[in-house]
């Protein structure tokens, strides 16, 4: 019974919008009724344009997540394992982290031009920091007893990291990547909306500029579904993998 | 080593990185058209400040960011409190909020352009909308998680509904609300920059975009450094406010 209550609110909103559009005989280049948006969305789904845009956006988001998250993971392990490295880097991390990722849009544009490389570079920067910070905290927070065990076993630093530190820190590292995945998608869409002519963000802007509000709304809903679906998939995976 | 000693060492490490950047720039491994040296970036900062263009851009961006953030915080706390206080409202509206939460805020920019055109109002609306969710959801959570005993106490004391909200629910959810507002502030800065780029409003966002289009890389890097400083100062400022408001927690 509880599920339909959650659905009621958005359904009522959509119904009101549809009723308002029909009552006013909406004929507009800037707004469209929910029904028109659904039709436009169905067309864009059928002709594959949404699929292509979605693949581009996801390629950028996951490319950046892999690159930035990978570097963040390695840097986080180093800073989490070595107090000296952590303290020496403190100022540099503090100085670079608050730079808003979108401030790098012009730099990436100047360096790479438009395309995948530019967008992946910006997404990497955005995904790097949360993975770095959370991995560092996870690694630094490992039970000291486990480190003693590694020492007693005379494991080399690499073996200690792979066999003891990483498995122990894995649940929290997963959380870091879950957070970074959401950020990656957000930043990818932002770069596309503002400058890079590809993917879902550009699709929205193009629909708006070519006076297709129905298509623009369809894209908006689709981006929402995508963000929600990504979050849902990663959260369920997390529940399955780390049930303990 | 003492704390201050380590702090100095970490600042020296940062300086080493900047020196490395200078060496790379001097060696012309990357063309100075794309990568200016730190010295040229610093010169661009000095020139920008003495000529008045950078302070003007900075002020516009700061204004936008704060007005949008305050608007979002106000609306977020009021709506969040209303939803958080009522289990019924949470049941009906909660799933919708969870759906909107992961939506990239910049995805509403095209919609905002439709309503407001490429204006300051559009930028402000986008900032307010994007920055709304962290504060709103944190407020809902904070109000929903108030210790039930406290409500029993308020009933025993026959406190008015307003007094319950003002004296019990709000202070007890303040840590959540402030955490949400901190996230909102970061989002405000990002959306202010993006909005300026798109709507071509005077500000640091447009400033750096124009500098890139003209291949004025020192100006571009100067703007990025300034944006980083802005992000740093506002985050630290909010931390200080938070520490002061939440003094009672650690007593």
Segment A2-14 shows an average pLDDT of 78
CB A50 within 8 A of CB A222: yes
Residue A240 confidence (pLDDT) above 70 = yes
Q: Does B105 touch chain A (CB under 8 A)?
A: yes
Residue B60 confidence (pLDDT) above 90 = yes
If one compares B210 and A154, the residue with the highest pLDDT of the two is B210
Residue B250 pLDDT class (50, 70, 90 cuts): low
Q: Looking at CA atoms only, how far is residue A163 from chain B in angstroms?
A: 30
Segment A8-36 shows an average pLDDT of 80
Return d(Cα B19, Cα A166) in angstroms, integer.
34
pLDDT at residue A230 in the model: 92
What are B116-125's pLDDT values in tens digits? 888 889 999 9
Identify the three-state secondary structure at position B16: helix
Identify the three-state secondary structure at position A82: coil
CA dihedral B241→B245→B250→B251, nearest 10 degrees, is 130
Name the CA radius of gyration of chain B, rounded.
Answer: 23
What are B164-217's pLDDT values in tens digits? 888 888 888 898 999 999 999 999 999 999 999 988 888 999 999 999 989 889
Sign of CA dihedral A108, A112, A115, A121: negative
Q: Chain B, 162-201: which have a CB under 8 Å from a chain A CB?
A: 186, 189-190, 193-194, 197-198
Return d(Cα B58, Cα A168) in angstroms, integer.
45
Mean pLDDT of chain B: 89
Residue B244 confidence (pLDDT) above 60 = yes
CB B223 within 8 A of CB B208: yes
Return d(Cα B207, Cα B220) in angstroms, integer.
8
CB B127 within 8 A of CB B68: yes
Identify the three-state secondary structure at position B21: helix
Chain pair A-B, CB pairs under 8 angstroms? 165
DSSP B25-53: HHTTSS-TTT---HHHHHHHHHHHHHHTH
By C-alpha distance, the chain B residue nearest A208 is: B110
B-chain residues near A92 (CB < 8 A):
10, 13-14, 17
B-chain residues near A223 (CB < 8 A):
103-104, 107
pLDDT at residue B126 in the model: 93
Share of chain A above pLDDT 90, in %: 46
Q: Which of B117, B81, B80, B82 is nearest to B101 (CA)?
A: B80
Segment B148-152 shows an average pLDDT of 81
Identify the three-state secondary structure at position B203: coil
pLDDT at residue A190 in the model: 93
Return d(Cα A154, Cα B43) in angstroms, integer.
53
Return d(Cα A64, Cα A86) in angstroms, integer.
24
What are A79-135's pLDDT values in tens digits? 998 889 999 998 899 889 989 999 999 999 988 989 899 999 999 999 999 999 999
Q: Looking at CA atoms only, how far is residue B171 from chain A in angstroms?
A: 28
Return d(Cα B173, Cα B84) in angstroms, integer.
10
pLDDT at residue B59 in the model: 95
pLDDT at residue B131 in the model: 93
Return d(Cα A39, Cα A138) in angstroms, integer.
48
Which pair of structure tokens corresponds to residue B32? 């100075």
Phi and psi at A127, nearest 5°, equal -80, -20
DSSP B170-193: HHHHHHHHHHHHHHHHHHHHHHHH
By C-alpha distance, the chain A residue nearest B6 is: A87
pLDDT at residue A55 in the model: 95
What are A23-63's pLDDT values in tens digits? 877 777 677 888 888 888 888 888 988 999 999 999 999 99
Residue B251 confidence (pLDDT) above 70 = no
Q: Any residues with CB less than 8 A from the CB of B156 and at least 6 apart, and which?
A: none
Share of chain A above pLDDT 70, in %: 98
pLDDT at residue A10 in the model: 82
Identify the three-state secondary structure at position B150: helix
Return d(Cα A96, Cα B227) in angstroms, integer.
11
Q: Looking at CA atoms only, how far is residue B86 from chain A in angstroms?
A: 14
B-chain residues near A91 (CB < 8 A):
7, 10-11, 13-14
A120: Cα separation from own chain's centroid: 12
If one compares A31 and A208, the residue with the highest pLDDT of the two is A208
Return d(Cα A135, Cα A141) in angstroms, integer.
10
Neighbours of A28 (CB within 10 A): 14
Beta-sheet strands, E only, within chain A: none
pLDDT at residue B162 in the model: 81
Q: Any idea what the Cα angle at residue B16 is, between residues B15 and B20, rounded to 5°? A: 115
Interface test with B, best of A110, A114, A191, A197 (most B CBs within 10 A): A110
Q: Any residues with CB less than 8 A from the CB of B97 and at least 6 apart, and which?
A: B83, B133, B136, B137, B140
What are B226-238's pLDDT values in tens digits? 999 999 999 899 9
pLDDT at residue A160 in the model: 84
For the ranges B7-16, B155-164, B211-220, the lowest mean pLDDT is seen at B155-164
Which pair of structure tokens corresponds to residue B163? 């007094």
Segment A143-170 shows an average pLDDT of 85
Residue A3 pLDDT class (50, 70, 90 cuts): low
Look up tokens 């955490």; give the residue: B179
Q: What is the ipTM of this complex?
A: 0.87
Q: Which of A6, A222, A231, A233 is nearest to B95 (CA)?
A: A6
Closest partner residue to A6 (CB to CB) among B95, B204, B223 is B95
Return d(Cα B174, Cα B180) in angstroms, integer.
10
Q: Which of B164, B142, B134 is nearest to B84 (CA)?
A: B142
B-chain residues near A185 (CB < 8 A):
102, 104
Half-sphere exposure of A68 (CA within 13 A, CB side): 30
């Amino acid at each position: 019974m509880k599920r339909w209550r959650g659905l009621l609110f958005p359904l009522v909103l959509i119904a009101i919008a549809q009723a308002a559009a029909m009552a006013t005989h909406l004929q507009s280049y800037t707004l469209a009724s929910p029904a028109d948006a659904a039709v436009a969305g169905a067309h864009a789904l059928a002709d594959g344009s949404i699929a292509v845009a979605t693949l581009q956006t996801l390629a950028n988001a996951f490319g950046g997540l892999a690159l930035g998250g990978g570097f963040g993971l390695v840097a986080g392990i180093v800073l989490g394992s070595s107090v000296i490295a952590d303290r020496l880097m403190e100022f540099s991390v503090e100085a670079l982290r608050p730079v808003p990722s979108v401030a790098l849009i012009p730099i990436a544009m100047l360096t790479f031009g438009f395309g995948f490389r530019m967008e992946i570079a910006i997404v990497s920067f955005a995904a790097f920091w949360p993975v770095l910070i959370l991995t560092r905290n996870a690694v630094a927070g490992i039970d000291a007893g486990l480190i003693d065990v590694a020492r007693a076993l005379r494991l080399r630093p690499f073996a200690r990291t792979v066999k003891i530190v990483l498995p122990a820190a894995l649940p929290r590292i997963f959380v870091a990547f879950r957070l970074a995945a959401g950020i990656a998608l957000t930043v990818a869409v932002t770069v596309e909306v503002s400058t890079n002519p590809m993917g879902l963000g550009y699709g929205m802007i193009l629909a708006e500029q070519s006076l297709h509000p129905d298509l623009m709304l369809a894209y908006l809903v689709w981006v929402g579904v995508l963000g929600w679906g990504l979050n849902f998939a990663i959260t369920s995976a997390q529940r399955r993998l780390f049930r303990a | 080593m003492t704390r201050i000693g380590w702090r100095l060492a970490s600042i020296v490490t940062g300086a080493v990185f900047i020196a490395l950047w200078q060496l790379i720039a001097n060696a012309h491994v990357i063309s100075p058209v794309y990568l200016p040296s730190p010295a040229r970036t610093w010169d661009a900062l000095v020139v920008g400040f003495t000529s008045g263009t950078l302070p003007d851009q900075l002020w516009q961006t700061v204004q936008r960011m704060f007005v949008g953030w305050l608007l979002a915080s106000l609306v977020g706390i009021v709506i969040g409190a209303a939803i958080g206080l009522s289990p019924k409202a949470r049941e009906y509206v909660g799933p919708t909020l969870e759906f909107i939460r992961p939506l990239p805020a910049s995805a509403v920019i095209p919609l905002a352009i439709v309503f407001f055109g490429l204006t300051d109002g559009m930028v402000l609306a986008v900032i307010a909308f994007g920055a709304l969710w962290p504060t709103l959801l944190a407020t809902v959570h904070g109000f929903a998680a108030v210790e039930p005993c406290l409500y029993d106490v308020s009933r025993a004391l026959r406190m008015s509904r307003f007094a319950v909200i003002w004296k019990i629910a709000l202070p007890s959810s303040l840590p959540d609300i402030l955490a949400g507002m901190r996230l909102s502030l970061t989002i405000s800065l990002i959306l202010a920059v993006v909005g300026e780029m798109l709507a071509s409003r005077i500000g640091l966002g447009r400033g750096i975009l124009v500098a890139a289009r003209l291949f004025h890389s020192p100006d571009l890097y100067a703007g990025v450094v300034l944006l980083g400083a802005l992000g740093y100062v506002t985050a630290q400022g909010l931390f200080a406010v938070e520490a002061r408001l939440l003094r009672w927690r650690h007593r």
